[in-house]
Structure 1
Amino acid sequence: MIDYKLLEALATVIETGGFERAGEALGLSQSAVSQRIKALEIRLGQPVLIRHPQLAPTPAGRQLLNHYQQVQLLERDLRNALPTLDAASPRMRIAINADSLATWWAGTVADLCRDEGLLLDLVIEDQDVGLKRLRDGEVAACLCASDQPIAGARCVSLGTMVYHPYATPAYIARHFPDGPTETAFRHAPAIVYGPHDQLQHRFLAQCGYHGAFPYHLCPSSEGFVRLATAGIGYGMMPRRQVAELEDAGRLASLAPSHCLEVPLYWHFWRHSGALLERLTSALGEVQLT
């Protein structure tokens, strides 16, 4: 049988990104964490971690992480059935895109967190790449734009978020006096969330432009809006996030006839317990637009 203290060490090393930080989180020395990983590898007969060029789980390590995520959630159900067990608050690690976190997520999960004492460990990932976190066993669930099924996991469609190219009216007048033209796109600075963010590229392709363009990188959903309202650039944002700013005339779409629809899917491991099922039910009631 597996010693779950060893799996806890493995999961903490991956979550914190290093042995020293894992030791601080677990109240152990770096050496003690290293010994637990070594003991797990000896027990398994193969490595569970790739240490260079960057720390990552091996395929065997990913399987163990998947298992550990599910066991943690099942233990929550057991504590409810047997109150004399340790009643520590459950913690759920979830990959989520920044725009969902900045708009509808908190209001949707607030009641469940309060009623169940649930603690969230949120990992911010672009909606196009978040599924990798689940596949690698780093999270119990993920919210992303892919409907690609994963063996052992369920996928639930939550709806669609609609993005528009917003900028200040002054910015639009200065950079897009003739509308969304090839010349304007070639010179007007855009705002891109991160290196994996393809929304801007998809919008430009929709408008018939496939060339290079200047852009700011801003890996913060709130900072993204602030840059736009300051007149620094234009970018793809959901109306739900900037409705008040648009209604007040501080932001406007530079191409009102163009928008992008991004589907969102909730992926989670099967047989992970009632708490994750209740969270899934709460998410199924959300209105994204």
Structure 2
Amino acid sequence: MRRAEWVAARWLGVGVTACLAVVTIGLALGGQLALYINPDSAWFAVSMAVLALVGTVATFLVPLGAEADHGHDHGDVPHGIAHAHDHREHDHGSDHDHGSEHVDHGDLDREELDREAETVMLAPRRALAIVATVTGGVLASGITVAALVLPPASLSVELAMARDVGAPPLFAGMDSVTLATSGDTSSFGIGEWATVFATSTHPDTFEGESVKLTGFLTPDPDDPDSVRLTRLVITHCVIDAQPAALPVLSPGWESEHEVGDWVELDGTVRTGADGTLVIEPATVTAVPEPADPYEY
């Protein structure tokens, strides 16, 4: 039983870590790590993965179960010291026996009852701790095995739509807004343009700006004659991925495209009737999903 516990502890420690490290390095070598983290952080993730594998190899030098040894074995005590220690304990015990002719058995009974009550109180906590440990171990193992056997995949369009809470997206800083005002928008993606659309106080400044963007289509809940060109923007990893969307004037778009279709759009920024910015498309061409479907 103890051996099984040691193996489980080793698996949930270095075993899971080693598997995730292998997955990380494999994704990096295959050029697919960007599906999960910002490419700017790839060097750090790969370095930590290599370090984890080195640590895993080092654990083979540690005997199984050694992690449960907390250093209670203080080595052999010299015979003379041990004998003297036993002698002092014997003398102490003798003094106690001779000095106390009567033992209060009521106190002993109360102590025994207190110990039993404490054991009863701790039993549910121990059971809960065991259940939590087993549950966490199963979940961690399941995620690790899934990472090993499932092919890499990007986040779905449905997830992007679910994460869209309707709040104005702010993926870029004021430097991007300032750059847009100066007219240098050639490097802008959907994330930067979404920030400009949401924060511009002078929409007419961008009237007539040309855009060429790639994203997937999602419906505009506020305007049936518009569709939204959407892309997921990642700051650090897919956990913080948020959708950026731009309104595109396209009456009857459902007759040519479906929700989730990837398209390349050439168009012009216009000021809508309500004073907000929209894109007037010149061409909307269906394209396959890019190898790197995110913006960063």
Structure scoring higher RCO (CA < 8 A, sep ≥ 6) equals 1
Same fold (TM over 0.5): no
Give me the TM-score of the superposition, normalised by structure 1: 0.23
Normalized per residue, the structure richer in strand is 1
Give me the TM-score of the superposition, normalised by structure 2: 0.23
